[in-house]
Amino acid sequence: MSDGDSVESPPKAEPAPLHEEIAYGPPGGAGHRVRAADGVGIRVGFWRSGLRGTVLILPGRGEYAEKYGRAAARLAAREYSVAVIDWRGHGLSDRVGGHPTATHVQAFRDYLWDVKAVVDFLDSSAAPRPLHLLAHSMGGTVGLRALIEGLDAASVVFVSPLWGYNLSGAALTAARIVTGVVRVFGALETPVLKGARSRAESVAFRKNVVTSHEPMFRWLRDQTHTHPELGRTAPTARWVSEALAECRALESLPSPDTPCLAIIGSEETVVRPEAVRDRVNRWSGGRLHVIPGCRHEPLMEAPAIRERAFEETVRHFDRNG
C-alpha cells in the first residue's frame, strides 16, 4: 500500500481513552493506541459489535473517533463491527507540527502510515472480515489513494469525498499563491483559512455548512466543549498545500476495482461535486447517490437524510460482503 510495507511492523497496541459518555456508541467500545511505522502514535476507536465484517471509518479533517459513535451504533445494529481512526494530528493521536490545535501534516502520504497501522491492528485483533471502508471528506482523499495502492477492502462508501475543493478558479489560485508564499518564507506550520472554518465548535448554527439539523449540530459542539483536546481549528499552510497537491495528483490516476458508492448532498459547498461525479464516472460499476437538502455531512444530518445515507451505505456493504 505504501513505502511502509518494507518497514518492521509496529509494536502491539496499548489501551487509549474512548469517551463513551459523549460518543453514544454501541456497547463494548474501546480505545487503542497503535504506532505507525514512522513512529507516530495513532488512536483507533473499536467497537467489536458484529460478525458481518468490519467497517473502517476514515474521518474528515478535524474529526475524531467519538464523533462517529452514533454511526457505529447504527452499523452495529446491522451486525457490523466498527473501527474509527484518529489521523495523526487529530483527536487523541500524536500531534505533528508546532501549533497545538492546527491541523498539520508533513506530507499527505503520511496518512497512509496511519491506515496501515490500524489495518495491522485489526488483523492482529482478529476483527471480523471482510473489511469495508466508510470515508468522509479528507478521509476520501486518503482512502482513494490507499485503495489505488493496494489496500484490500471488499467495498468502499465515500461520503462527500475531498477530491477537489469547491472554490472558484480565483479562490483556488489565491489559495495556491498564499501557500506558495508561506512555503518560500518557511512558515508552513502557520494556520491559514481561519475565516473558512466550518466545524460545529467554531461557528453559529445558521452559518454552518455541515448539517441542517440543529440538535446534531449542538451534539457535535458539546462533544468538543466537554473534551476540548479532541477539537482542531484551522489547517496549516503545509496541510492546505499538500491537500491541493494530492487532489491534483489523484485526478490523473485510474480508479481501483473496489466496489464503490459515493454519497453527496445537493447543498454541498465544501468539496467540489463535479470532481466526485467525474471520479464515479471513471469507476467501473461505481454509483453516485445525491441526497436532496443535505449539506457536507450526510451521516450527521437531519433524521430522514441520515436514515437515507445509512440505508444506502449498509445496502452497499451487504451487497459486497
pLDDT at position 302 over 80 = yes
Q: Which residues pair with 46 in a beta bridge?
A: 30, 83
The model's confidence at residue 283, banded by pLDDT at 50, 70 and 90, is: very high
For residue 180, name the pLDDT band (cuts at 50, 70, 90).
Answer: low
**What's residue 237's pLDDT?**
84
Count of the separate structural domains present in the chain: 1
Report whether the peptide linkage leading into residue 130 is cis, meaning its omega lies within 30 degrees of zero: yes
Domain membership of residue 166 as a residue range: 3-319
State the Cα–Cα distance between residues 288 and 143, nearest whole angstrom: 17
Tens of pLDDT, residues 59-97: 999 999 999 999 999 999 999 999 999 999 999 999 988
To 5 degrees, how large is the angle CA 16–CA 232–CA 87? 50
| Mean pLDDT over the full length of the chain | 90
State pTM to two decimals.
Answer: 0.91
- What CATH number does residue 71 fall under? 3.40.50.1820
Structure-model confidence comparison of residues 174 and 218, the more confident one: 218
In this prediction, residues 180-202 reach a mean pLDDT of 54
Q: What confidence tens digit (pLDDT) does each residue in 194-253 have?
A: 543 444 455 789 999 999 999 999 999 999 999 999 988 788 888 988 999 999 999 999
Name the grid cell of 131: 473489511
What are all long-range contacts of 122-128, with beta carbons under 8 Å and residues at least 24 apart? 122/46, 122/54, 122/56, 122/83, 124/12, 124/13, 125/13, 125/46, 125/48, 127/46, 127/48, 127/54, 127/81, 127/83, 128/48, 128/50, 128/51, 128/52, 128/53, 128/54, 128/80, 128/81
